[in-house]
């Protein structure tokens, strides 16, 4: 499918706008520290997937989603009015698991590093701590 620069710009503008609205205009206590991470508007502009993250556990995530769902009509109207679209897209809020996956991968890598036996980190340590030489001369240029 050919790339639509208009759609990409619109996705970015909706993301910025929703992020601003969530932080400044929504007063729902269920909505925690929500960050809008991405928006993917349909080719016909009738709907948009809005990806978000939230600090906290599964319960905080569920509560934030409920708060966003209850503010959906307000957010849709604000997006349509600000962007002057003929039809405001229907907003679908989806939790963005990218950060969670990255943290799990990072944890697995850290655990793997801890389990590996210690190995010398350089050839100099492997040779018993002798100074490394370059071209038959030591670091001071002496042979």
pLDDT reported for residue 142: 54
CB 42, CB 48: distance < 8 Å: yes
Mean pLDDT of successive 10-residue segments in the chain (143 residues)?
82 96 91 92 94 90 93 94 89 89 85 73 53 50 53
Domains of the chain: 5-100 (3.30.300.20)
pLDDT reported for residue 21: 94
pLDDT reported for residue 112: 86
Beta bridge partners of residue 36, listed in sequence order = 52
Half-sphere exposure of 135 (CA within 13 A, CB side): 4
pLDDT reported for residue 15: 96
Could you tell me which of 49, 51, 32, 58 has the C-alpha nearest to residue 98? Answer: 51
pLDDT reported for residue 85: 83
**For the whole model, what pTM was predicted?**
0.70
């Amino acid at each position: 499918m050919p790339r639509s620069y208009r759609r990409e710009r619109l996705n970015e503008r909706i993301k910025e706008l929703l992020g601003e609205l969530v932080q400044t205009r929504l007063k729902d206590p269920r909505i925690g520290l929500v960050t809008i991470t991405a928006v993917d508007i349909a080719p016909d502009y009738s709907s948009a997937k809005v990806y978000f993250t939230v600090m906290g556990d599964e319960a905080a995530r569920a509560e934030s989603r409920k708060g966003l769902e209850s503010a959906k009509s307000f957010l849709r109207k604000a997006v349509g009015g600000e962007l002057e679209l003929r039809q405001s897209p229907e907003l679908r809020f989806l939790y963005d698991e990218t950060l969670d996956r990255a943290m799990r991968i990072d944890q697995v890598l850290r655990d793997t590093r801890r389990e590996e036996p210690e190995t010398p980190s350089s050839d100099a340590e492997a040779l018993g701590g002798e100074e490394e030489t370059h071209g038959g001369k030591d670091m001071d240029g002496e042979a």
